[in-house]
Structure 1
Amino acid sequence: MQFVDWLWLIHPALAVVVVYPLLGMVLRAARQTRDQRVLKQTFPAAVGKNHADLGTWLTTTVTGIVLFAEVVVITTANPLAEFSGGPGRLFQLFLVLVGSIVAFLALLNVRKLIYRSTFALLCWIGILTLGMQPEVFRRSDNPLDPEFWQSHYWSGIVLTGLMLISLAMRYAIYRNIRWRRLHLSLNIFAALIFVVQGISGPRDLLEIPLSWQKSTIYSCNFDNRTCPQPSDQASPLPQTP
């Protein structure tokens, strides 16, 4: 493996090592918080705050590794000297990246719902903008195509949006039961998407060749599942008498 291959591996590695363990802790704390509120079961007083804090860490990690993956894919698709669109486009994408990070940091530091929702939306739009670049592989952009619903990319985009929405409504759910119910519904959906991501991610890893293999692998016909015969076939061994 070359350095660029290790860069591509960081995204799934962080998902396995950080995101899914955090998800387990968030779900456990969520169950304890609900049982404490609805069933009046006895848990430590801080269980609700722990759930919210862990949820913030989970959203931060998901957002971070998605942005990291998009940056790696865009900047390693071709040598930077041959970057499509030149320095101008590269600078524009850099501004989108910085804007997404700034919007997320602002989301963490404001409390009013309208501001939190605005910064969450701006961050998600930045993530979507980077993800829609031609260097980023997407199975399909057509919702009528079955491949669209099998896309690791699109389910990841939806999941990130759900996580940002949940983080935006953190303080609202303390005061209004309707927000609390919406928060619960969205995060049940998000948990299902996490399962889908856990399946589609390893599938895509199987399909991504190492950097030195790409020129050969991508010359294949993926529809017919055929590859051209190599031109440098070894000469046959001489026949023994």
Structure 2
Amino acid sequence: MVELKDFLGLIHPFLAVAFIFPLIGVVSYFSLQTRQRRLSAKEDRSKIPANVGGEHLRLGRWLSNGVVLVALVGLAYPIYTKISWAEDSFRAGFITLIFAATIASLFFLNQARTPLWRGIFATLTGAGLVILGSQPEIFRRGFEWYVSHYYYGIAASLLMIFSLAMFPDIYKDRSNRWRNAHIVLNCIALLLFIGQGFTGARDLLEIPLSWQQPYVEQLYINDCQNQECTVQPADAPDLEESPGS
């Protein structure tokens, strides 16, 4: 039987698979259509709908906000299931305020019109993610940071925040510097999303169910950094009671 804790642990991957990854495909398609229409000759543009740019912008903003919110859900689960509310109530309250401030900053980032305020709210949103991700309850896989689901997710989320902050400048900059920066950074984000698919599936395989966890901890003495496991089989003889002892 699946316990509530195990069910809550599935919310983050469910949201990513059901909403974020389909949006990535749609936004990527519209981005290619938008670029092709912009670079095509006038007689060829009629083959591509005129609304692809607007749809790319609208769905891109949905994707950027969704990535940040799903990242917050992914951070909230280990923090609130592992933190001791009775012994560490002050830090628990502080973390809750950081979550609220980060969500509020993301909201105001979407509402801001001037570059100054977009920069301020983007910085606050990114700082909130980093502060929450630095909590001791978060497993960051620091010994393999180059294949860490956490680091890929934080990097992708920061790129999405930067995209939200820069998109109004893309349409004002005639030199296309912001547009080119947007293309490069989001190509990097796409690679990070692909890495998220692999690392997320791997991490789900490594997390035992709640009822299994005590037994797994008894059976395994793990050295994650050296990738070594010492297993005591159930039918192995006790060395202390072996003949000749």
**Match of 1:212, SS?**
coil
CA distance in 2, matches of 1:197, 1:226: 29
CA distance in 2, matches of 1:47, 1:191: 19
| Matched residue type, 1:187 | N
Superposed displacement of residue 115, structure 1: 1.5
CA distance in 2, matches of 1:170, 1:200: 29
Q: Which runs of 5+ in 1 are unaligned?
A: 234-241
CA distance in 1, matches of 2:123, 2:196: 22
Pairing of 1:205-224 with structure 2 (within 5 A): 205-219=204-218, 220-223=220-223, 224=228
**Match of 1:90, SS?**
helix
Aligned to 1:237: none
Pairing of 1:151-230 with structure 2 (within 5 A): 151-176=148-173, 177-219=176-218, 220-223=220-223, 224-229=228-233
Identity %: 40
* Cα separation, partners in 2 of 1:218 and 1:124, compared to 1, 3 Å: farther
Match for residue 71 of structure 1 among 66, 76, 82: 76
TM-score, structure 2 as length reference: 0.87
Indicate if the aligned counterparts of 2:85 and 2:92 stay in contact, CA closer than 8 A. Answer: no
Superposed displacement of residue 135, structure 1: 0.6
**Match of 2:212, SS?**
helix
CA distance in 2, matches of 1:88, 1:58: 34
1:30 aligns with 2:31: yes
Superposed displacement of residue 229, structure 1: 4.7
- State which drifts further: 69-78 or 161-170: 69-78
Question: Residues 1-55 of structure 1: CA distance to partner in whole angstroms, max 9, x if unpaired?
Answer: 1011010001011111100100011001101110111114232222111101101
- State which drifts further: 44-53 or 27-36: 44-53
CA distance in 1, matches of 2:50, 2:141: 46
CA distance in 2, matches of 1:123, 1:66: 12
| Matched residue type, 2:14 | A
CA distance in 1, matches of 2:213, 2:127: 31
CA distance in 1, matches of 2:187, 2:28: 10
Question: Residues 118-148 of structure 1: CA distance to partner in whole angstroms, max 9, x if unpaired?
Answer: 21121111011111111111110xxxx5x11
| Matched residue type, 1:168 | A
Match for residue 140 of structure 2 among 119, 138, 141: 138
TM-score, structure 1 as length reference: 0.88
Moved over 4 A (4+): none
Superposed displacement of residue 221, structure 1: 2.1
| Matched residue type, 1:3 | L
CA distance in 1, matches of 2:83, 2:98: 20
1:106 aligns with 2:108: yes
**Match of 2:221, SS?**
coil
Superposed displacement of residue 79, structure 1: 5.6
CA RMSD across the alignment: 1.7
Q: Which runs of 5+ in 2 are unaligned?
A: 238-245
Aligned to 1:117: 119
CA distance in 1, matches of 2:3, 2:71: 22
| Matched residue type, 2:58 | D
Superposed displacement of residue 215, structure 1: 2.1
CA distance in 2, matches of 1:218, 1:39: 60
| Matched residue type, 2:135 | Q
Question: Residues 194-234 of structure 1: CA distance to partner in whole angstroms, max 9, x if unpaired?
Answer: 11001000000000111122222234122332234559x9x
